[in-house]
Amino acid sequence: MEICGSVFISLDESRGWKSQPRTAAGALYSGIMMRGGMKCVASFEAKAACGLAERLQTEAIPIEVRTVTQDSGLDFSEILVEDSYYERACDVAETWEAERVAEVESRVKRRCPKCGSQHLAYDWLDNLTPSAKCKDCGHEFVI
């Protein structure tokens, strides 16, 4: 998933999303001018785009949704807005994503073994071993 230039990689839904800066190779179109003065605010697997599309429409931001089939055959939906709405749409999209992450974190039972916090960032130690780092105390541990 990509929102306004940041790629969010799901480790799995129970762990939430990890944000990574966009790289040229991994970029879809976020922030790049599209035809007709439109910019891509977000790119999702097709089924996941509905929530953000509804939020943007609720905020009176006109959108266009395009479905793009990737080389892998996976369908992605790109949410496009006019250039004049881009910054506001990014703010709405980032707030929406933060709310989604907070909701997932509230359902997660995993806690930091040092301080008990549920505010964890997830990563992989060697692409095989999942790990977590507490956002409150900084403790890192294998999960």
* Domain limits for position 85: 2-108
> Do 72 and 14 lie in a common domain?
yes
Alpha helices by DSSP H, the chain = 49-58, 86-107
132/123 Cα distance (integer angstroms) = 6
pLDDT tens column, 98-126: 888 788 777 778 889 999 988 888 888 77
> Do 57 and 127 lie in a common domain?
no
> Do 75 and 121 lie in a common domain?
no
Say which range, 3-7, 45-49, 99-103, 107-111, has the weakest mean pLDDT. Answer: 3-7
The reported pLDDT for the residue numbered 92 is: 94
The reported pLDDT for the residue numbered 7 is: 52
Q: At 85, phi and psi to the nearest 5?
A: -100, -5
Residues 26-37, mean pLDDT to the nearest whole number: 44
pTM equals: 0.59
> Do 52 and 113 lie in a common domain?
no
- pLDDT above 70 coverage of the chain, percent: 75
Specify the DSSP class assigned to residue 68.
Answer: E
> Do 103 and 139 lie in a common domain?
no
Give the number of domains in the chain: 2
